[in-house]
Structure 1
């Protein structure tokens, strides 16, 4: 059969603005890749991220650059050399996984040799706002098992105190998105301990984190922007205690699984994260989430309307997509 590849820009409106230290978004902009081989069709999604100098236009151009190879039969192994880690490779890689599963009549889980995705705790996010508004948001999520709190460097103490008071029983991830410096981090550690913080995610810039090599944190620190692929671990393992695997950073499920397995082999903690995306991104990420200590896959929960048959949230518990949505024949 002759393969065909199609890539397109899709937009999903959000129910509320998603505000973090580096900006705010009101819609999810994704690239959807569809690869057809006769009657068998696989899909994947990538989310270009400006932090990594990615745009929709650049991502579509990258995919166009490998069209001939993919339509000529290039597989996932070949793809790793054709594209750099990032949203473009993620979308194509996940489409190839989906295509492979459907052609074989077996699920992606079966191809990996792993259990099928199941219901699991996934963080609900409290985005940056006034401390009072963040408390209101946290109170509405207070029965969830895990909250992730976005903060910046302006008034994180007030924000975190209000959130913890409003949601006293949740496990807590604090995510400054690189907005803190060394002095702020050292100064706020006692508060993080007092508030029973479970994880501090990428507090300082990935380009200015060398000092973490000599630092023993009171709260485990998770690398996010500082880690993309398994080759990064030589440095990351000296600075961080946990690694956040995102398919858009690693460039697809193939590289994400490699990074997750390498992270575990080094004895580091593991987290699975996502961009603000549709369930098409999350369905693939669930295969890393099953291995993880922390799961943060609430991207589709922010959408006014997700893709039909996608994941669902029940009070902070994420339910996998309906069979046939992605990666299942």
Structure 2
């Protein structure tokens, strides 16, 4: 790790908690060894010094534009094998569009589950992202890296953002959102809990749509009852969804736990092969998630 990176992290220690610093050292130390990485920025509450023991680590990764698509694909395996991610990364739909791609990873660190938000962007977008997010630079490649705009990288980002999510991506979204809502409840952030609960219900609906009528997945809530309700399994799914959206709009730990169980049951019924493949990951998630 470079002396500049060490000094930047030491500066952040003053205003942040050790757990997040340890994660940041682990992640940034690994990424700084990649010739594809040009910049690392810390953003969010972690950068401003407003973090608490539940805060996630928000990191922006600048990547040489010619290798951007390859790096995006490889970073999932990196998160799983080197950073302790227990689930596939969620393609973040909350983060603003700044020319890159956001992913949320739930990682195991020191026996606990932590949230790591990675925003991957072509290097030519880093100055703009730093200005928008007020991110704090902790690493810049000594050689500068390739920072010229690349049409292929921009097209890759556009295609990824426009792509319809798969059942696996939607299911992982429900797990990540449940994790986030659980943190909102602990902090007493009722308005954010309300907003993310609506997102959770929408993701569950999209999972049902994508599993049962993939050709109509983009129609959302429109004609949901008549289109999904044509089959016995569809009617069962609608009954589960009705119970889900009838739960308290500002959830309690108990109602959130009930919603999670309902979503797991829905997924087991509609996409059993996917759930079997994700079995160990789901077990690890449930072990760490405390909704009591």
- Band the TM-score falls in, shorter-chain normalisation: under 0.3
Whose helix fraction is larger, Structure 1's or Structure 2's?
2
Whose strand fraction is larger, Structure 1's or Structure 2's?
1
Taking structure 1 as the reference length, what is the TM-score of the superposition?
A: 0.24
Q: Greater relative contact order: 1 or 2 (C-alpha under 8 angstroms, separation 6 or more)?
A: 1
